[in-house]
Homo-oligomer: A and B are copies of this chain.
């Protein structure tokens, strides 16, 4: 199988596959006499595995250290441990996101709960001091990045 065919089957670009090879995630692959890379059918599996792991939150670095040279020979204990750590990491993230959500919802309520007898500027001051007073001690949530993925 050529690289284009593999890319189509695995649902990613050829350049990405070459990049993964350079990055050490794919073992160096066989070449045809003309220099073209040639892949065995299992390569599709490996690529699917990599993208699954990425979607589960593993960086390419993490994936590289976990991926065995062949698909049948995993470092069992390291893998399980990494999986557990990732679950814990996700749980931390979930907590922070929930915190953030709560704070935003509270902020919306606070903004909309403008007392009838004050003007907008005064309401702004009220909301501002409310917000910066409260959220400050208990650390923030650092939400943003997850939504900002896949630039283009």
Contact surface of A with B, Cβ cutoff 8 Å: 45, 48-49, 51-52, 54-59, 71-74, 76, 79-80, 83-84, 86-87, 89-91, 93-94, 97-98, 100-101, 103-105, 107-108, 111-112, 120-121, 124-125, 128, 131-132, 135-136, 140-150
Contacts and interface: CB of A to CB of B under 8 A. Distances in A.
A132 B52 contact: yes
Among A100, A147, A150, max chain B CB count under 10 A is at A147
B83 A148 contact: no
A89 B59 CA distance: 22
B104 A59 contact: no
A108 to B, nearest CB: 5
